[in-house]
Chains A and B, each alone.
Chain A
Amino acid sequence: MSAVSIALNRFGYGLACGARAPRDPKAWLLAQLDSFDPAPAPIAARAQTRGKTGEMIETLRTLRREVREMADPAMAPAGGEAAMMAETGADNSRAAALAGLPPEYRTKLLEARRVAIDDLAVRVNVAVASETPLVERLVHFWSNHFSVSLGKPGTQFEVGPHEFTAIRPHVLGKFSDLLKAAVLHPAMLLYLDQFQSIGPNAPFQQRRAARANADPQAPRGLNENLAREVLELHTLGVGGGYAQADVTELARALTGWTVPGIGRVGRFAQEQASGAAFVALVHEPGARTILGKTYAASGPGQALAVLDDLAAHPSTARFIATKFARHFAGDTPPTSLVARLEADFRNTGGDLASLTRTLIASPEAWAPGPLKFRTPFEWYIAAMRLSGLEGLEPQRIARVLGELGQTPWRAPSPAGYDDLAASWAAPDVLFRRVELAERMAQGAPADDVLARAEAAFPDALSDMTRTWLTRAESGRQALALLLVAPEMMRR
């Protein structure tokens, strides 16, 4: 690959239809750090959905209660919970399950689903039109690092805002700010069960114990899911030097952080900057000891202080540097690059703009390659940019991404999607791209395909690809072939 082709493809999402390749690749990349817009028009124009989540959770809880009264919950075949899961799980039985719901619930669930699909289309359209594709890649990298999922009931109003308001503004800022914003956002609190975790010695727990008619189905205590994933996936990494006791202590420190507008304690909530709420009544009182350091009781400040220290931990620097290097410079990134990024992260206190500049300045990231197999999402954005298709229905975008095997905000686990060729270079993955490419080419401008290919991969187009583009029986067929050419599959 030539340096220009590397800047376009390895660092970005490929050349957009009608755009010109940059003359100075490094200067072009660095300029993007200054011109990036965290809230471009489609995001700024997005309808406000804050406040709807609490209402949604309450709706789901009521529904669950009603279903329970009708039948044994564990056995209810297509009851409320099944319908709820079907709704969020893009299930075939969704229509049937929805039809069985009372109209007021159905309306709410459909609205939530529409908001999530519209947000997905916003993400795609912003990336396709972006003039700062390197920074869009960073947004999607960090969004996957702090993965949340629509698979959890009630998250539909929050996953889009999680990326738009907690991730985007911080990808060129401090890692500690990104960490606090992403982890303490309602989407994450819902996804990893934090919103219903209660300190065993919290005042709320004491009062409830004294009450005779407490709802036995209501949340009763500590849930360590978020605490564990913060340590394992977001900061130190597995083997990063923490123990079970640290997980439990962090889980205690995090109690009180919840989603606004839910439950009986909702009226005691204090709004937090992340969009979350803090309810002192369910916060575990007292000091916490994590990784040998003691944190005095300070309400919401306690968890914030721990997160600040985790962001500054040497294991975090190593973990982030490795993952960042892997994303750009190969599944097994050069140790020299990892070491340089790690040092940069430590020396700058986790300055992510500096980390990006160090990456751009590193020779390892400019190895002729290709170094990576494109994931389905990366391929789709690159194919959309190159084909010049626009104005797709949000529904269609969501469906296509599902068929390609990588719907954003629906990763199978909190670790996000894999960033390894072995996970994506598979027969069926390839076949789906070929099927889709042929369809995309039907509706896209299909003239001058060879010239477009030369522009998209300057000094990097193979003779084989050139030959088969020339031999194509139509412009459309040539475009379809270009979209699945080896140059498009790897970067």
Chain B
Amino acid sequence: MLTRLDRRTLLAGSLALGASGLALPRIALAQTTGTRKVLFVLLRGAADGLAMLAPVGDPGFEALRGAALADYASAPRIGSFFALHPALTEVGKAAASGEALFVHAAATAYRERSHFDAQNLLETGGSAPYATKDGWLNRLVTLTGEAQRGEMPRALAIAPAVPLALRGDAPVSSYAPSALPAASDDFMARVGALYEADSELASLWARAIETRAMAGDDGLNSLRDASANGALVASLMQGARGAQIAMIEVDGWDTHANQRGAFARQARGLDALLAAYRTGMGEEWRDTLVLVATEFGRTAQLNGTGGTDHGTASAALVMGGNVRGGRVEADWPGLAARQLYEGRDLAPTIALESVLAGAVAEHFRLDPAQTLARLFPGRIGKPLSGIVR
């Protein structure tokens, strides 16, 4: 018979049950990279790199996007060649203080134009869509755990379900605030008992309880409010018990029509999320790395409905207190018709995988070549270096 199981014993029980890796002693934290954190922000829908970071110094830009040029007139400049989208105010400030690095004309190994295949490849890190079952961020959890002498980093998806990039062998929790009133402790304890013989449900349940307890189950936070999201992510990553590797998704970048307003709206949301996250991390910001990437870029030319269609290369953003920022890393391919990929898209000149692998390797002090090989197997070329101080 079940009697007097309170929340505390329940928590203690589920911790021992569901996350044995987390119960390992934390040895010499300060000497390892165990306090360093990574947040991966996936922009789903193919965010337009040419709108995010406009190559205003390229004479081809005006020809392709003339109507939009005025938007960048008083926008923050990154170097003399690029202008940041004016809605990205806070990102611009981070760039000015040297904490935001941009990479342009970057693309994964994928060269077709399907969102779903491209996201699959970017999330799994495989060399072809659907070739790999687990995600590169999950493999990073394992890799970092090995480097931290078996101390597995806590990994968290800030989403109702775990996105593919974080799926795999390493344990991962998911959390999204719920507007439902909290279930009673007694009922939750009984549910835990009911799932005891069911390994899948028991493990999901243990992780749900643990994450809820950590977040203080604040139902007021809303996933739909970008700024609250940023603060929520920070609250779940702060401190020694916070997640060390986390991921959040931002949908809505597939701007096939009326891109000018739609992109500005998206960019404002992203900017608010990143700003609130940066503030929320406080002192820990200097040990935090944020990676913002998308599955592919969009056509260089606007289509007939003021939007852009599926393209190839786009821009990526790396932010953090220890990032060597304030600059753009690019081998600019140019925007003249003959320079465009298949005559329509920004041509890729940097592998996005080498940016992601290079950044996390430097941040966690891992061997860059090995990191690239583990996270994104089968890639030729070297990881990008000089990202982190």
Contacts and interface: CB of A to CB of B under 8 A. Distances in A.
B304 A220 contact: yes
A422 B167 contact: yes
A432 interface: yes
Contact of A222 (B162, B187, B304): B304
A405 B212 CA distance: 17
Contact of A413 (B45, B112, B157): B45
A45 to B, nearest CB: 31
A426 B114 contact: no
Contact of B204 (A222, A405, A423, A430): A430
A16 interface: no
Interface stretch (B29-37, B189-197, B318-326, B365-373): B189-197
Interface in B69-128: 71, 86-87, 112-117
A219 interface: yes
B214 interface: no
Contact of B114 (A232, A438, A465): A232
Given A74-B71, A422-B167, A223 B307 contact: yes
A429 B265 contact: no
What size tier do the contact residues of chain B reach? Answer: 35 or more
A91 B87 CA distance: 20
A223 B256 contact: yes
Interface string A58-87: 000000000000000111000001100100
A216 B305 CA distance: 11
Contact of A435 (B157, B182, B222, B251): B182
Nearest to A221: B304
B197 A464 contact: yes
B149 interface: no
Contact of B178 (A89, A221, A432): A432
Interface in B229-272: 251, 254, 256-257, 260-261, 264-265
Contacts of B86: 74-75
B24 interface: no
B205 interface: yes
DSSP class of B's interface residues: helix, strand, loop or mixed? loop
Contact of A197 (B178, B183, B187, B305): B305
Contacts of B71: 74
Interface stretch (A129-137, A163-171, A477-485): A477-485
A429 B160 contact: yes
Contact of A426 (B198, B204, B261, B304): B204
Contact of B191 (A74, A197, A484): A484
B12 interface: no
B208 A220 contact: no
A430 B201 contact: yes
Given A403-B179, A428-B175, A481-B191, A198 B261 contact: no
A289 interface: no
Contacts of B164: 422
B2 interface: yes
Contacts, number: 173
A198 B303 CA distance: 11
Contacts of B180: 403, 432, 435-436, 439
Nearest to A223: B305
Contact of B183 (A85, A413, A438): A438
B212 A431 contact: yes
Contacts of B194: 464-465, 468, 481, 484-486
A472 B190 contact: yes
Given A221-B305, A232-B114, A434 B191 contact: yes
Contacts of B112: 238
Interface of A: 73-75, 81-82, 85, 89-93, 192-193, 196-198, 200, 216-217, 219-225, 228, 232, 238, 244, 399, 403, 405, 412-413, 415, 422-432, 434-436, 438-439, 462, 464-465, 468, 471-472, 477, 480-481, 484-486, 489
Interface of B: 1-2, 44-45, 67, 71, 86-87, 112-117, 157, 159-162, 164, 167, 173-176, 178-184, 187-188, 190-191, 193-198, 200-201, 204-205, 207-209, 211-212, 222, 224-225, 251, 254, 256-257, 260-261, 264-265, 303-307, 309-310, 342
20 contacts: A74-B260, A85-B265, A92-B224, A193-B257, A198-B304, A219-B305, A225-B257, A238-B116, A423-B161, A425-B200, A428-B161, A428-B211, A429-B160, A430-B205, A431-B209, A436-B180, A472-B190, A480-B187, A484-B191, A489-B201
Q: Which 4 A-B pairs have the closest CB atoms?
A: A221-B304, A427-B208, A426-B161, A405-B160
